[in-house]
Structures are given as structure tokens and as C-alpha cells.
Amino acid sequence: MTLKLSLKAVGALSLLLSSGLAVASVQADSHPSAQADSHVNAKTPLQATPKISAQADRVAQYALDTYGDETITALSTLIPYKTVDTEGMTPLTHPEFIGFKAQLKSLSQRLGLDYSDQGYVVLIGLGEGERKLGVITHGDVQPADASFWQQDPFILDSQSQPGYLIGRGTEDDKGPIVTAMYAMKAIKDKGLALNRRIELLVYLAEESDWAPLKAFLTEFTPADINITIDAEYPVVTAEKGWSEIRLTIPKMPKNGKESSGTSPSLDGFSGGAFASQVPQQAVAKISGLDKKMIVALKEKASAQRGMKYQFQLTSLEGQARELLTIIAEGKSTHSSTPEAGVNAVTHLAELLRGIHFSRSEAALTAQFIQQMVGLGLYGEQFGAIAYEDDFMGPMTLAATLVKPNEQGTEIVLNLRRPVGKTPEQLDKETYEALESWQVQHTVSFGGVETYWGEPKLMDKAPHLQTLLSVFGHFTDTPSPKPVAIGGSTNSKLFPNALSFGPAMPGVEYTGHSEHEFITKAQFMLNLQMYTAAFVELAVSTDQLSESAKQETKSGAQRASD
């Protein structure tokens, strides 16, 4: 059996298997100094993609035929480890991380690969020598709310939806780790001579803290060419900069006169799970709404596309007013692709627009979301902050966390910025917009913080055309072109690092969502493409040339026969 499908076929299959809306995520960023290059890269057509070697094609098919089912079994042994950042613990002390590393070591030994535990980093390799092909991945994952999953998100689910491999880490990034290891195993089985050691680097805090990796790289010499398997195909040459705005709506004394009057009161407004996920759920608590207003809210809610609402009415002890709890459920997604989700926080705020609430912390929170974020995706309402780059696309802005605490209600906005504006300009525009809103509403924010991550462009990497050739060959895509993404991967820290999968272009990336999966078809295709890429980039060119000669000679012999 072969899974050498055309790009259209793979996309169609993924869409048939997926219950979500397919979206293109052609967005990204780069270093400001390389902005002009990104425009040239985007507009200049590449030459027709050359074919890959017969050797690479054969080994890729061997990997699929020999280890296809086994890779799924191996993945099922990694998913159960809840390698989630936990306060007060590190990957060095957390039992789940310790168990995960032990499982990786066991799998490496079984496959005949070398294994080295460097603390926050695990190195799994094939071959020796100073020249290396680096393969960059991560073993930590984001939290998962089990109430939104059909089965336990930390058990690989291949039954509830045929053709799916569902679970936290299947796409981001335990699935890619497994396919890379079995690609190396296939090469080892064939006894191919390597001119580069293949070195899989598994970092254990990619989702939470890059500092330990940066420290590791001050002592460790990385490969001179690297592949990050933590994004999408065909090849990612630009990434936007992960950015953030945090502020706190302060607590304020209750106005007894106003709360006992005729104005309804917004007593609570919250939502979101973590900073890099578009919120799946948000909750509002309202007292003092009359039945007519509740009916109007329900009608308005029914008109919001992609949203589900629960309205729960309870009596308040000792009061004539009733408490209405509204639970809003949208669709979570990675915050780098907010267009692929339905933000429960912003839609709930929009639902409440037009109701005159008495002044409260929650009411100001909802107003801020309505007026500064709205239902837009690109910061259109946030002062003058919005902009875009021709190749990387627009900056995105998503309200990802609204969380009450002792100081008030913290609001976290996650942004992905392309080239085109400096951090200083973005800071100036941010603070101007925030100051204007504070004056308008006579309130002073607490804990205002901004962070502007650097975008990156890497379109001069020497292995770019090779990876495009591999993708073109296995998807029957003529002249595939590099893309830019909103995501931010560890590739930014490595020389000549290009992202290569695991997600197909035009198909929703499910990492960070509450329904993370990879289709079995895509998982198998990734195994083939990673195997072929490793052969093309790490196997001795003399051996590849000899293989090509033998293939030509065999073809000529068959023709004469």
C-alpha cells in the first residue's frame, strides 16, 4: 500500500476526517533587516521542483511498509505522560517528565538509536561525526480540559473517530518525535552510510520557558543545518514574533445604591485556559436582568455563528433579584491562527454589548474586550497598532485569558507580529491606546506589561530546495513554495533552521486546541517525508550517486528485456 497522495487528495481526506473548518495559515515574520528579502522570496517563482533520489523514495516506502503500524503503537506510549508545565516543578523534578524521558530512552534503545539525557534537552541520534543534521522538536505539551474531549486527552484515542489519532501531543509534538525516530530506524536498517549524524533534539519546556534551551546552546554546538518539525508544510521560512499585552482591571468598591437599583449588575466575567489558546469557554454572571432582557439575550445568542450558550437562572438568597449565569462555548485553536477558532471571550462580550450595567470590575472588563478587541482578529480596534507585511500577513491579536485574581481581573492579549514595526513603535501605540481608554472610563490599569518577540526569516538555508523537492514528490505538487506562519518555534534559536510539517497547508492546525489530532493518513505521510528528507540530507552523496547508477542500469536492463 502507498500513501503517496496528491496535495489535493491529502487536503480533501483531512477535511473529510476533520469536523473543523479548513483554513489557510499563510502568515509569518522575519528579522527586520531581512524584510526586503521576504518580499522577493514571496514573489519570485522557484524553478520546477527536481525529483528526489530513488534511494530516498525506496527507504521512505520501506519505513511505511515496515513501521507504519508500529509508529502508532509507539505514540500511544508517549501520550499518557502529562508533560505540562507545573508551578513549583521543572522537567528535572516532575515525575511525568521523568517518566516521559525514560520511555524515550527505552524506545531509542529498542530502535538502536543513541540516547543522551541533558536535563532540559534529550538528544537521540544516529551516526557519528561533527557534521550533523539537526531535527528540532519538543516533548512538553499544553494543558487539556478533559471536559471538552470525548475521551481522556492523555490516552491515544484511535477509536472514537475512525482515521483520527486524537490526544494531547499527537500533532504538537509527540507525533513528530515518533515519526522522526522511525525514519532514523529505517535508515539504520538499510545500513546507509551517513555523511552527517542525524540528531533529534527534544526540548522539554518549549511551551513555557525558552531560557534553559538558550543556556544549553551556549555550551552545545548545534548542527549547521536544522529541520524543525513543529509547524507546517511545504517549508516554513518565516515566523511571526510571539508577543503579549497584559493588564489588570482593578478591583473597585461596590456601589450599594447602584447595585440595589434598577440597573443590572455584571458580577463576573472570565474565560480562557492559557495564553496561547483561543478560548473555548467563557462565563458571565449577571444579576438584575428582567425576563424580557433574558429572552432578548437568548435570541441574540442564537444568531452567533459557531457559538453555543447555556443560560442558568438561580435565586439569590435574601434578595429579590435572580442570578443569571451564561456559559459560552466557542472553538479553541492555537492563538497563532485565531481565524481557525471561535473566541468564546470576545463573543460573550459582544453578546452583552448594549446592556447598561452598573459600574463594576466585571463590567469594565467586558467593555474593554468589546471596545479594544471586538470580534476582529488583527487589532483593528486597538488604537493604531494594526499593520501587515506582504509575505507574513497581518499581525494577529487574540484575547486569550480573562482571569480574576486578588488585584482585579487580568486580561492577556496574545499577538503574533510580522516585520514592519519596531518594538518601540508597538509599545508607543499600545500605551497610547490604553491611556486613552483609561481616561475615557476614569480607571487606572494595574500590572501593564508588554512583550514583543522577534519575527524571523530564514529563506537562504542551503537545504530549502531539498525539502521542497521532498514535499513536491510525495504530494505531486509542482514547484511548491515556502510559506510563513504565525506560530513561534524553537527554530528561531538554531542556524539554518527550516520548519517542515507536520501539518499540511490549508488544513487546520489542531495543536493547543481542545480537539488535538492528526489523521492516520497524515501521520503515515509524515513518516515517508521525514525518512526521505533525512536520506537526502544526511546519507553519503557517493552512496546516493551509486544508487542512482544502479537504478539507471536496472532500468536499462528491464527495457532491453
154-179 pLDDT, tens digit each: 999 999 999 999 999 999 999 999 99
Distance (Å, whole) CA 39 – CA 116: 41
Same domain, 82 and 203: yes
123 inside domain? yes
Same domain, 435 and 490: no
**Does 186 have pLDDT greater than 70?**
yes
Percent of the chain exceeding pLDDT 90 equals 81
Same domain, 278 and 201: no
Concatenate the DSSP letters of all residues of 282-331 into one string.
EEEEEES--HHHHHHHHHHHHTSTT-EEEEEEEEPTT-SSEEEEEEEE-B
Average pLDDT over residues 314-329: 84
Each residue's pLDDT tens digit, 65-83: 999 999 999 999 999 999 9
The pLDDT assigned to 37 comes to 31
The pLDDT assigned to 19 comes to 34
Per the structure, the complete domain to which residue 358 belongs is given by: 241-283+327-452
Same domain, 83 and 224: yes
Tally of domains within the chain: 2
Distance (Å, whole) CA 561 – CA 78: 50
8-state DSSP, 6 = -
Same domain, 75 and 183: yes
Angle between helices 54-78 and 541-560 (to 10 degrees): 120
Q: Which three cell numbers stand for residue 441?
A: 472610563
Mean pLDDT, all residues of the chain: 88
Percent of the chain exceeding pLDDT 70 equals 85
The pLDDT assigned to 545 comes to 57
Q: Are 165 and 69 in contact (CB under 8 A)?
A: no
The pLDDT assigned to 317 comes to 67
pTM for this model (two decimals): 0.81
508 inside domain? yes
265 inside domain? yes
Q: Are 384 and 208 in contact (CB under 8 A)?
A: no
The pLDDT assigned to 22 comes to 31
378 inside domain? yes
pLDDT classification of 51: cutoffs 50, 70, 90: confident
Each residue's pLDDT tens digit, 256-276: 444 445 789 999 999 999 999
**Does 244 have pLDDT greater than 60?**
yes
Q: State the pairing for strand pair 483-485/236-239.
A: parallel
Same domain, 427 and 504: no
Distance (Å, whole) CA 491 – CA 237: 10
Same domain, 271 and 234: no
Of 452, 479, 500, the one marking the end of a domain is 452
Span between the terminal Cα atoms of the chain, in Å: 27
